[in-house]
Structure 1
């Protein structure tokens, strides 16, 4: 498949070393159908039929990855993306948060509209090493306030946690005494 470059970003020297790729709603079954260059800065594969996160481990400069509205059921294949800052996996089939330990520069994580009930994968992100500030979890299956607090309490830079938006929440939002 031919690689579509949506935009190029010039660095201070005027070189076009970072590029953005957009393949939205193209019916892709796998990321491996694309030839992705290691200098890519952003990849948007929104609304395809991708079921596994693979074939991007060589894109070391990647900072923004959008795999929303696909068929992904497991967070995996991201451990080499050390520069990743934003990750959008909304509208997939994910039931648990996992596979984010290597993403120390991640600041924004969108996991809205999945089937998530297990947040344990956020616990390895506790501490000052991680920069996660924004997490969107609205439209999931989170039902335990104790589990929620346990998994969030060590995220030192977290400023925004979205559990309910536009009337789409989590069961925990409707627990007695909760005003979210």
Structure 2
């Protein structure tokens, strides 16, 4: 797929001025030049054009906010002075796997004042004697070359580096702003109010428990009284039935006595 078509595909119905990251890896550059990328991508911070057969940066648009540029596995051999003109705020540049052979080619990167990390791995220049020392001396603004600093300490991941930068910015803003006057007093008052609310809620819960237990006791007492009342009623009914039976027996006995007298 040609680069111009790939850019349209990556936009996904977004306007170019809204895009902050653009990955065009493995597409095809016509005549080894950039196509479809223009100055309307003014918010672009990350651009990747790895393995696209790019040989020239002459048509690179002005991308003032671009911080990271991936150009690995292309056939770039020079013309790096364009980067300082078009992307003056670059902090990370990956040129590994290109056709860069000598220090004079890299010298053009001296004008990238914010450049911190440069990758020239798999370029012919790495075969030069004292390669690392020469690059660090030539580009004194960089911290990492091919992923390591001058003491061979490995560079942090780009995401971790971004997080650290963000944390530092946040800390600086907090230090500059500082807590507003009376902030600590308001916080203490809020804590006191919260403690009072908690104590009140605990007291309320205790009262509810006492009230609930009292109601339950009353219900149990009422049930016991009802049971006693029912039992008393049953006993009275049994006594009445027994008296009725005794009365009937006395009546029958009297009738039997009368019959005997008649005889």
TM over 0.5: yes
Kindly state the Cα deviation for residue 126 of structure 1 after the two structures are TM-superposed: 2.6
**Is 1:120 the equivalent of 2:108?**
no
Partner of 2:47: 65
Structure-2 separation of matches of 1:133 and 1:69: 23
Report how many residues are paired. Answer: 136
Partner of 1:6: none
Structure-1 separation of matches of 2:137 and 2:3: 36
- Corresponding residue to 1:86 among 68, 75, 97: 68
Partner of 1:54: 35
For the structure 1 residues 95 and 126, does the alpha-carbon distance in structure 2 shift closer, same or farther, using more than 3 Å as the test? closer
Structure-2 separation of matches of 1:82 and 1:121: 23
Partner of 1:162: 146
Kindly state the Cα deviation for residue 47 of structure 1 after the two structures are TM-superposed: 1.0
Structure-2 separation of matches of 1:63 and 1:49: 22
Does structure 2 retain, via aligned residues, the 8 Å contact 1:122–1:152? no
Partner of 1:41: 20
Does structure 1 retain, via aligned residues, the 8 Å contact 2:117–2:147? no
Give me the TM-score of the superposition, normalised by structure 1.
0.63
TM-align CA RMSD: 2.8
Please list every run of 5 or more consecutive structure 2 residues that lacks an aligned counterpart in the other structure: 149-263
For the structure 1 residues 96 and 148, does the alpha-carbon distance in structure 2 shift closer, same or farther, using more than 3 Å as the test? farther
Kindly state the Cα deviation for residue 55 of structure 1 after the two structures are TM-superposed: 2.9
3-state SS of paired residue (1:100): helix
Structure with the larger helix share: 2
Give me the TM-score of the superposition, normalised by structure 2.
0.45
Q: Which moved more, 1:140-149 or 1:90-99?
A: 140-149
Deviation digits for residues 108-162 of structure 1 (CA, Å, limit 9, x no counterpart): 00011111114535434436x7100000101011144589766653534301111
* Structure of larger gyration radius: 2
Structure-2 separation of matches of 1:75 and 1:145: 28
Kindly state the Cα deviation for residue 33 of structure 1 after the two structures are TM-superposed: 6.1
- Corresponding residue to 2:59 among 74, 77, 81: 77
Partner of 2:90: 106
3-state SS of paired residue (2:20): strand
Does structure 2 retain, via aligned residues, the 8 Å contact 1:96–1:120? no
Structure with the larger strand share: 1
Does structure 1 retain, via aligned residues, the 8 Å contact 2:55–2:76? yes
Structure-2 separation of matches of 1:55 and 1:43: 12
